[in-house]
Amino acid sequence: MSIDCPLECPHLRDAREHEKLPPMDPKSLPNPEIELSDAFLEQQQPLAIVTGRLLLVAAMETPGTVDPDMRDALDALTRTYRTAETGLVYESRPTNGIAAAVVDRFQQEVRQFREHVAQNTGAHTVRDKDLLGVLVFWQRMEWQRNNGRRKGRAFIESLFSLLPPPQEENNLSLA
């Protein structure tokens, strides 16, 4: 039986603290060839926070989104930015309709964020390579938090608890 609790539910949060996750196969780590050093993560922490918030907004504003949808969306996004890093423009689209809606919303928010950064700094400072790295970081976080349930929301709930959406979306910045 599954109950669709809101992410703020104290019972849901308590259950997550005591949940036993299935064992992870290290061979299934997403994008193992992409190294995420401590120095990279420290340097890109502001971008990782903004990206996590944008993922959360996309998930929360796409009705019915669950962790498997986020996994599909993150897979498509990392493939898109991996391709962009080579100089080609090719947007990967998930076949899952909910994941595709999450990708669309995320990409829309990233475009707005990039415009905001360009207007405030006078330069284009959000590189595709950096965005790929932080997306791989969130992809691995999803991999770690995945409880294997078809309608699970452990990853989405962890985004919510780590990075509650800002009251005003205009507060997103790298500053």
Instruction: Tell me the domain boundaries of the chain.
Output: 39-166
Model confidence, pTM? 0.80
| pLDDT value for 44 | 95
CA-closest candidate to residue 8, choices 141, 149, 164: 164
The reported pLDDT for the residue numbered 175 is 42
Amino acid at 86: T
Token pair of 159 as six digits: 């985004």
CA dihedral 52, 56, 57, 58 (to 10 degrees): 100
What pLDDT score was predicted for residue 91? 83
pLDDT of residue 149: 83
pLDDT tens sequence for the chain (175 residues): 455 666 566 655 565 565 666 677 778 889 999 999 999 999 999 999 999 999 999 999 999 999 999 999 999 999 999 988 777 777 889 999 999 999 999 999 999 999 988 888 877 678 999 999 999 999 999 999 888 888 889 999 999 988 765 555 444 544 4
